[in-house]
Amino acid sequence: MTTELTILAWTLVLALVQILLTAQMRTQETGLSYSMSARDGETPPPRPITARLQRAQRNLFETLPLFAAAVLIADAAAAEGALTLWGCWLYLVARVVYLPLYAFGVPVLRSLVWAVSLVGLVMVIAAVLTN
């Protein structure tokens, strides 16, 4: 398995961590019985940190399909190289750093880190298109 595919697998682990962390925080707010119910009634709004975790999760899920597709195409086309390797690392590391920055409401730096993840994604796509 290539390093790029391994990084993709670790990115999926990050996605699972975000799902579980957000669910745990929300369950602490609403209670286990509500979380296990059909959730038909009114729900109290999430606390600020939980709301930020939910937004960070949605943000990851906006680019993760693109990242996964680019990595898989690069692998299928044997287009791996320095560009895909660095792009994958930039994407994953930036996404890991982005999560606590977003959770704790750090402005500006959070956006810059998000931009780094996007640069990583673009690098992988560029490698695929120039192969």
CB under 8 Å to 19, separation ≥6 — which residues? 57
How many domains does one find in the chain?
1
pLDDT tens across 41-85, in order? 888 899 999 999 999 999 999 999 999 999 999 999 999 999 999
* Structure tokens, 4: 């790029």
Which CATH number does the domain housing residue 108 bear? 1.20.120.550
- pLDDT of 30-51, one tens digit each? 989 888 888 888 888 999 999 9
Measured between alpha carbons, how far is residue 56 from residues 1, 101, 128 in Å? 29, 10, 27
Please tell me the distance from the alpha carbon of residue 69 to that of residue 118, in angstroms, as a whole number.
Answer: 14
* Range list of H helices, the chain: 3-30, 32-35, 48-76, 82-103, 109-129
Joined tokens for residue 117: 């993840």
Least trusted range by pLDDT, from 17-21, 29-33, 110-114, 126-130: 29-33
- The per-residue pLDDT for 58 is 98
Q: What is the mean pLDDT of the chain?
A: 96
Interval 103-124 mean pLDDT: 98
Question: What residues make up the domain containing 11?
Answer: 3-39+47-129
Tell me what pLDDT residue 39 has. Answer: 81
d(CA 84, CA 75): 10
